[in-house]
Amino acid sequence: MNAANFYLRLQQETVQEREYLLSSPLITAALQGEITRDEYVAFLGQAYHHVKHTLPLLMAVGARLPESKEWLREKMAHYIEEEVGHQEWILNDITQCGSDAEIVRHAAPSLPVELMIGFIWDFVSRRNPVGFLGMVFVLEGTSVNVATQAADKIRLALQLPKKAFSYLYSHGSLDVEHIDFFESVVNQIDDQKDQDDIIHVAKIIFRLYADMFRTIK
């Protein structure tokens, strides 16, 4: 199986699911600067509940990869260095919005987030750790597409300080570099099953992530 253009195949085979995500009312409203402070804080709260799993998931993926994929384990180590502490950025943003971050920290996630996290942990643990790259594709790709633009619009509309947007601004810029890195990683994956599993995970995460936004607006 040709791996050189797998990233292109991944994009092409998830077009419908990506459009479902990007058409979420909260995302379209955010890009117009038409969301409330409560909606923005609600988004941050749900982001916290999935982002806090990123580091443990990366560690689990690295631990479960076979010796034949040592090269990929090293790439996971790179991601781990980049992702440390991001969930705390989100809590700081919530505080800067005037809300209680500790309530968010101890709250339960929405059903789509609960399902998304349960699904990816099960997939990594029981089926194929390489499939986790499908989730990376969804989350980082979305950040590149909308994070910085949405942050600018929301900040202007709500008159909140820039330090209330550290998560969105950092991911909007960081993930541009991450996507280039991600593309180089997945284009080295030449196993048909691994490729199919990444696409399968991406399709499901796109749907659940979109439903997370739809529970807010």
SS3 annotation, 171-195: HHHHHHHHHHHHHHHHCCCCCHHHH
Domain that holds residue 186: 6-216
Per-residue pLDDT of the chain (217 residues; tens, 9 = 90+): 556 799 999 999 999 999 999 999 999 999 999 999 999 999 999 999 999 999 999 999 999 999 999 999 999 998 888 778 789 999 999 999 999 999 999 999 999 999 999 999 999 999 999 999 999 999 988 877 788 889 999 999 999 999 999 999 887 666 567 788 899 999 999 999 999 999 999 999 999 999 999 999 9
Residue 54 domain flag: yes
Q: What is the three-class DSSP state of 161?
A: coil
Kindly report the CATH number assigned to the domain that includes residue 39: 1.20.910.10
Q: What is the three-class DSSP state of 97?
A: coil
Residue 1 domain flag: no
Domain count, the chain: 1
Q: What is the three-class DSSP state of 24?
A: coil
Residue 93 domain flag: yes
Burial label, 83 (beta-carbon count in 10 A; 0-12, 13-18, 19+): middle
Quote the distance between the C-alpha of residue 195 and its chain's center: 19
Q: Give the residue among 161, 154, 148, 165 at the shortest CA–CA distance from 33.
A: 154
Residue 143 domain flag: yes
Q: How far apart are CA 109 and CA 50, in angstroms?
A: 8
Residue 26 domain flag: yes
Residue 20 domain flag: yes
